[in-house]
């Protein structure tokens, strides 16, 4: 339907029509939406948007209206559909003051020029349910952003998705508690500033084949998954800013990008891997805060870039620069990292006038002797580690300053060291290491003036981050990072049957309401220790919070002073699995025929029992089995209270699950392991009483994984 502007004789100017939102509407002239709540369910296909904006010189003012799918907001992994499509060929479009929640994609702009999205909130949209827990990761939580030629990234959902847009302005928007904030593919000349894309479970901002864009003064904190304090720090390809595949000449300045999987994650792309050409080059990464990344504060690989005046504190690696060349690392602050700068096979890089304090290793440079014979990049490019200038840096309280091996032609000059344990750790294959001026002093350095490129930015400060310092404040829930807003009983660890919890909340108080299968044995402040009763299947601790107003992880608001019940729940079927392990031969290949494979299995190579099927094998499962080409058959009987259950398996490579001899999960195809996210398989069903479970798993090669889950499905 068409909505035209109305002309009022009392006013000299046109006034945009005020209209309600309706499913299927097409907006092709300026409108103001009648304020209110609109519950409109989207089609499951992204090709059928709820609302289309199509045309030129259009202003759509949502007037703070709320558009929400009628789907249950407590299951973000089921969100689907596209709320708003701005059609290809449209130009000079303004979308402002919108609130859109509960969809796979809130706004998709396809081939639009001069688009502005302003002052809108696209939080609480699609999120994958995560399965990693406090003690180990689940490989199905890993993302894969390596290909987006056909908009494969759409499967991950986004608040804003820009496809081949030019001169977009994205400002003053919020995307929290979703999976991805802003995704851009094939875009150029965008201005992205003063946004808050934080507390998402994958990306704050993601770019693919996008160049000449300016990203500045944004909050991009806590875009993270795959982390458990003191247990593992994987990140699982989450990042505050991700820059993949031929993205060049972008500026990233004055952004707060803390507590994200990687702070900044740049990879040249598959084209460069296959041809040795191109890369993500000549990006300016200036005066950002990339602290507290579980993995790398900044990862820049196979490319040429400019990294200046950033703060990188408390990361595993401050900068990971594998195969970087002609890269300038200037005037940055590196504090409390495992390794401040780690570069393998780098060339002609400059590390100048940086400050290093309290890192385990300041600078680590290395190479391997030989590259894989079938790697195209190494055939096309020189991959030696060589030609470094490391000068004018200040090292203080470092355990190791230089850790170098397999490198050639390095100049170390005018660097100062204070209270460092060890200056040099030198390995094999080093030639032409010039340290003749290492202990000399120089009054000043004349660094290049490339930072004048950021003079256009009006506010040259990083947005204030009021969150707690340190990676230990990253807490991952099944729906992503905790946002410090709502009450949460968070499991930190389990030891000898004792459960150690942190109670997280806004200002206020809590008290125990009821426990089943747990007994709280100690509490100090907001720290609680509880003892589990191993004879109870459905265990829980319920607490009541009274205090400040808050918004929960699904976007529901709660008033101040109103008691709120929150809990920790876990389910243990109290069963024992009988697990048999087998070798298999090529003559009995499981990829060919399942029935033939299972019928031809010999006696098991070894057998065991376990309370949980929770295996991840990086090599052999042991007992003489090979690291590849083995099978697992596990059986048990469970006596279950009547309930609706979610039953799932994560498996690499192939798996089938049978309940009472009926097949309920069939992932007996190696296609399910092409992407890690497809290795998790689930089914929901009502069960009561005794039931037999049979898992059949086959491993081809590489990493092997088999994890079984069962829990009541809480609607």
187-246 pLDDT, tens digit per residue, is 999 999 999 999 999 999 999 999 999 999 999 999 999 999 999 999 999 999 999 999
| Helices H / strands E in the chain, number of each | 3, 60
State the Cα–Cα distance between residues 229 and 217, nearest whole angstrom. Answer: 29
pTM greater than 0.75: yes
Across the range 235-258, mean pLDDT stands at 98
Level-2 CATH architecture, domain 577-712: Sandwich (2.60)
pLDDT of 8 strictly over 70: no
* Sole residue written with tokens 């001069």: 114
Confidence of residue 4 (pLDDT cuts 50, 70, 90): very low
State the Cα–Cα distance between residues 708 and 575, nearest whole angstrom. Answer: 12
Share of the chain above pLDDT 70, in %: 97
What pLDDT does residue 308 have? 98
DSSP character string of 655-692: EEEEETTEEEEEE-SGGGGSSGGGGEEEEEEEEEEEEE
State the Cα–Cα distance between residues 360 and 322, nearest whole angstrom. Answer: 19
DSSP character string of 563-624: -EEEEEEEE-----EEEEEEE--GGG-TTT-HHHHHHT--S-SEEEEES--EEEESS--STT
Across the range 316-332, mean pLDDT stands at 98
Confidence of residue 71 (pLDDT cuts 50, 70, 90): confident
State the Cα–Cα distance between residues 407 and 344, nearest whole angstrom. Answer: 9
Q: What is the CA radius of gyration of the chain?
A: 28
pLDDT of 15 strictly over 70: no
Tell me 269's DSSP state.
-
- Domain spans of the chain, in order of start: 17-454, 485-571, 577-712
What pLDDT does residue 564 have? 98
Give Cα 436 to chain centroid, integer Å: 45
Q: Identify which of 216, 222, 217 has the alpha carbon closest to the alpha carbon of residue 177.
A: 222
pLDDT of 557 strictly over 90: yes
pLDDT (tens digit, 9 = 90+) per residue, 161-180? 999 999 999 999 999 999 99
pLDDT (tens digit, 9 = 90+) per residue, 488-539? 999 999 999 999 999 999 999 999 999 999 999 999 999 999 999 999 999 9
pLDDT of 284 strictly over 50: yes
pLDDT (tens digit, 9 = 90+) per residue, 296-317? 999 999 999 999 999 999 999 9
Q: Are 275 and 297 in contact (CB under 8 A)?
A: no
pLDDT of 10 strictly over 80: no
Across the range 626-643, mean pLDDT stands at 96
| Paired tokens of 422 | 């060890």
- Across 222-231, b (16+ Cβ under 10 Å) vs e yields bbbbbbbbee
Confidence of residue 465 (pLDDT cuts 50, 70, 90): confident
Q: Considering only 11-15, 33-37, 628-632, which range has the smallest mean pLDDT?
A: 11-15
- CATH 2.160.20 applies to domain 17-454: yes
Q: Dihedrals φ, ψ of 587, to 5°?
A: -65, -15
Number of Cβ atoms within 10 Å of the Cβ of 328: 19
Using DSSP bridges, classify how beta strands 654-659 and 662-667 pair: parallel, antiparallel or unpaired: antiparallel
The size of the chain, in residues, is 715
Confidence of residue 444 (pLDDT cuts 50, 70, 90): confident
CA distance readout (Å), 512 to 145, 530, 538, 551? 44, 12, 18, 21
State the Cα–Cα distance between residues 207 and 505, nearest whole angstrom. Answer: 35
Across the range 589-617, mean pLDDT stands at 94
What pLDDT does residue 623 have? 87
pLDDT of 562 strictly over 50: yes
State the Cα–Cα distance between residues 484 and 550, nearest whole angstrom. Answer: 10
What pLDDT does residue 12 have? 40
């Amino acid at each position: 339907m068409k909505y035209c502007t109305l002309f009022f004789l009392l006013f000299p100017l046109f006034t945009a029509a005020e209209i309600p939102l309706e499913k299927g509407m097409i907006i092709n002239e300026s409108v103001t939406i009648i304020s209110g709540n609109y519950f409109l369910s989207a089609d499951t296909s992204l090709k059928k948007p709820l609302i289309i904006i199509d045309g030129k010189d259009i202003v759509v003012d949502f007037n703070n209206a709320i558009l929400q799918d009628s789907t249950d907001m407590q299951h973000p992994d089921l969100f689907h559909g596209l709320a708003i499509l701005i059609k290809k060929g449209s130009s000079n479009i303004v979308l402002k003051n919108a609130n859109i929640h509960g969809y796979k994609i809130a706004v998709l702009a396809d081939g639009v020029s001069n688009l502005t999205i302003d002052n809108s909130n696209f939080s609480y949209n699609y999120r994958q349910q995560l399965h990693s827990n406090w003690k180990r990761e689940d490989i199905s939580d890993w993302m894969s952003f390596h290909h987006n030629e056909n908009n494969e990234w759409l499967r991950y959902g986004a608040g804003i998705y820009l496809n081949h847009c030019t001169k977009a302005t994205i400002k003053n928007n919020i995307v929290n508690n979703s999976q991805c904030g802003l995704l851009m593919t094939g875009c150029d000349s965008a201005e992205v500033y003063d946004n808050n894309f934080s507390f998402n479970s994958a990306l704050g901002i993601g770019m693919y084949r996008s160049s000449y864009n300016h990203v500045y003064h944004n909050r991009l904190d806590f875009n993270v998954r795959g982390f458990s304090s003191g247990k593992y720090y994987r990140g699982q390809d989450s990042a505050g800013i991700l820059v993949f595949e031929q993205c060049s000449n972008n500026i990233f300045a004055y952004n707060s990008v803390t507590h994200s999987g990687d702070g900044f994650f740049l990879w040249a792309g598959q084209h460069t891997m296959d041809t040795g050409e191109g890369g993500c080059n000549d990006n300016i990464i200036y005066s950002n805060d990339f602290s507290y990344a579980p993995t790398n504060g900044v990862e820049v690989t196979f490319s040429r870039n400019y990294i200046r005046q950033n703060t990188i504190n408390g990361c595993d690696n401050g900068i990971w620069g594998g195969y970087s060349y002609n890269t300038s690392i200037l005037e940055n602050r590196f504090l409390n990292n495992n390794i401040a700068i780690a570069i393998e096979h780098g060339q002609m890089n400059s590390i100048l006038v940086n400050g290093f304090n309290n890192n385990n290793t300041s600078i680590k440079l290395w190479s391997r002797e030989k590259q894989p014979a079938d790697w195209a990049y190494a055939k096309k490019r020189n991959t030696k580690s060589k030609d470094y200038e490391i000068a004018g840096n200040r090292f203080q309280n470092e355990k190791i300053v230089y850790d170098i091996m397999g490198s050639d032609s390095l100049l170390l000059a005018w660097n100062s060291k204070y209270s460092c344990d060890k200056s040099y750790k030198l390995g094999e294959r080093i030639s032409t290491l010039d340290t003749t001026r290492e202990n000399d002093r120089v009054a000043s350095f004349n660094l290049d003036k490339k930072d004048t490129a950021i003079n256009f930015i009006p506010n040259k400060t990083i947005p204030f981050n009021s969150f707690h310092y340190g990676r230990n404040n990253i807490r991952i829930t099944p729906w992503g990072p905790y946002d410090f807003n709502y009450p949460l009983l968070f499991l930190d660890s389990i030891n000898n049957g004792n459960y150690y919890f942190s109670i997280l909340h806004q200002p206020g108080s809590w008290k125990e309401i009821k426990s089943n299968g747990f007994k709280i044995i100690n509490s100090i402040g907001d720290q609680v220790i509880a003892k589990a009763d191993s004879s109870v299947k459905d265990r829980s601790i319920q607490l009541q919070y009274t205090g400040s107003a808050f918004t929960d992880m699904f976007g529901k608001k709660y008033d101040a002073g109103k008691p709120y019940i929150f809990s920790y729940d876990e389910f243990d079927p109290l069963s024992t699995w009988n697990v048999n392990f087998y070798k298999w031969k090529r003559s009995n290949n499981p990829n060919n025929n399942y029935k033939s494979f299972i019928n031809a299995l010999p006696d098991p190579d070894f057998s065991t029992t376990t309370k949980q099927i929770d295996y991840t094998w990086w090599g052999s499962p042991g007992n003489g089995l090979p690291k590849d080409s083995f099978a697992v058959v596990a059986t048990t009987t469970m006596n279950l209270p009547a309930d609706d259950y979610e039953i799932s398996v994560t498996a690499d490579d192939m798996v089938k699950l049978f309940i009472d001899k009926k097949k309920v999960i069939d992932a007996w195809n190696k296609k399910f392991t092409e992407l890690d996210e497809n290795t998790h398989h689930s089914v929901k069903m009502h069960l009561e009483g005794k039931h037999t479970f049979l898992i059949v798993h086959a491993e081809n090669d590489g990493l092997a994984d088999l994890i079984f889950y069962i829990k009541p499905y809480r609607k």
